Structure 1
Amino acid sequence: MTTRIVLVRHAQSVPPRFGVPDDDRRPLTAVGLAAAEALSERLVAYAPAAVLSSPQTRAVQTVTPAARELGLEVTTWPELREWESGLLPSADWEDLYTRSWARPESVHGTGESLDEVTVRAGKALARMGVEFPDATVLVGSHGTFVSRALIAAGQHADWESCRAMPMPAIYEVTA
């Protein structure tokens, strides 16, 4: 049995504030909300049996228009959340992420390593395979999580591809 998983990176969100922990309730911008609406038709065409999402607002908002059109609820799974890097948003975030991707086993403070995100993503994909056999599942999430889920599914992803990922973006994997 094969489960098709459609990973959706959220649309443009309000940027995080430098120097303070990121806010899970950070929403999409007006441009992001419009992009989520425009993306809906494309996502509906996959005919998903379920719509899952990270509990973070920007991910939920990105898949909600498609879920609404399909008559489905958005179900949040905590394991679909973005990388908890242990880093505060800062002007040098790209430099810090570059170093983290070069050493994916490394951990910043109380955060999780990228290797841990890959394991978490792999377990989430496997759970989808068990809970939604022979179905398509739409998944709203985040750039780093999507990249690490691609790696967990045996596809290529690296810092450059993660960094270049558009907002929103769609990728397919199977479980």
Structure 2
Amino acid sequence: MTTRIVLVRHAQSVPPRFGVLDDDDRPLTAAGLEAAEGLVSRLVAYAPVAVLSSPQLRAVQTVRPAAEALGLAVTTWPELREWESGLLPSADWEMSYARSWARPGLVHGVGESLDAVTVRAGKALARMAVEYPDATVVVGSHGTFLSRALIAVGLEADWESCRAMPMPMPAVYEVLR
């Protein structure tokens, strides 16, 4: 049995505030909400049996329109959340992220390493395969999480590919488990 997992990176969100821990309730921008609506027909075409999401608002808002069109609820799983980097949003965030990608075992303060995100993503994908065998699920999540999920299934991803995810967002990837 094979589970098809359609990974969706959230649409454009309100930027985080520099120097302040990221906010789980950070929403999509007006353009992001419009992009989420524009994604409906593409996601509905997969005929998913479930729509899962990170509990972070921007991810939920991205997949909610498709879930509503399908008559499904959005089920949030905490393990689908974005990388808890331990880094405060700042103007030099790309340099900090590049350093972390170069050393994926690196932990910043009370954050988690990228290696830990890869393990978390792999376990989440395995759980989906058990709970939704021989079916399709749509998953709303985040750029770093999606990149590490690709690594967890044996595909290549690095800092450059993470940065190069299609713009404007959202981005959609499909994996089989």
Normalising by the smaller structure, the TM-score range is over 0.9
2:156 partner letter: H
2:164 corresponds to 1:168: no
Q: How far apart, CA to CA, are the structure 2 residues paired with 1:56 and 1:112?
A: 17
Matched, 1:49 2:70: no
- In 1, the alpha carbon distance for the partners of 2:155 and 2:144 equals 14
Secondary structure at 2:2's aligned position in 1?
Answer: coil
Deviations 1:96-138 (A, max 9, x none): 0000000000000000000000000000000000000000000
1:93 aligns with 93
> Which ranges of 4 or more aligned residues in structure 1 deviate by more than 2 Å?
none
Alpha-carbon distance in 2 for matches of 1:143, 1:160: 12
Q: Distance in 1 between matches of 2:36 and 2:55?
A: 16
Is residue 2:138 matched to residue 1:138?
yes
Superposition deviation, residue 174 in structure 1: 1.1
Backbone CA RMSD of aligned residues: 0.4
Q: Which residue of 2 aligns with 1:115?
A: 115
What's the counterpart of residue 75 of structure 2?
Answer: 75
SS at match of 2:39: helix
Number of aligned pairs? 175
Q: Which residue of 2 aligns with 1:32?
A: 32
Percentage of matched positions with identical amino acids: 83
Q: Distance in 2 between matches of 1:172 and 1:152?
A: 13
Q: Distance in 1 between matches of 2:117 and 2:137?
A: 20
TM-score by length of 2: 0.98
Mapping 1:8-23, distance limit 5 Å: 8-23=8-23
Q: Which runs of 5+ in 1 are unaligned?
A: none
Could you tell me how far apart the structure 2 residues matched to 1:170 and 1:45 are? 13
1:59 and 2:53 are equivalent in the alignment: no
TM-score (norm 1): 0.99
Q: CA deviation at 1:34?
A: 0.2
One-letter code aligned to 1:109:
G
Query: For 1:163 and 1:108, how far apart are their aligned partners in 2?
Result: 20
Partner Cα separation in structure 1 for residue 109 and residue 115 of structure 2: 15
User: What amino acid does structure 2 have at the position aligned with 1:174?
Assistant: L
Structure 1 residue 164, shift from structure 2 partner: 1.1
- Write the distance in 2 (CA, Å) between the matches of 1:165 and 1:89: 20
Shift of 1:92: 0.3
1:102 aligns with 2:102: yes
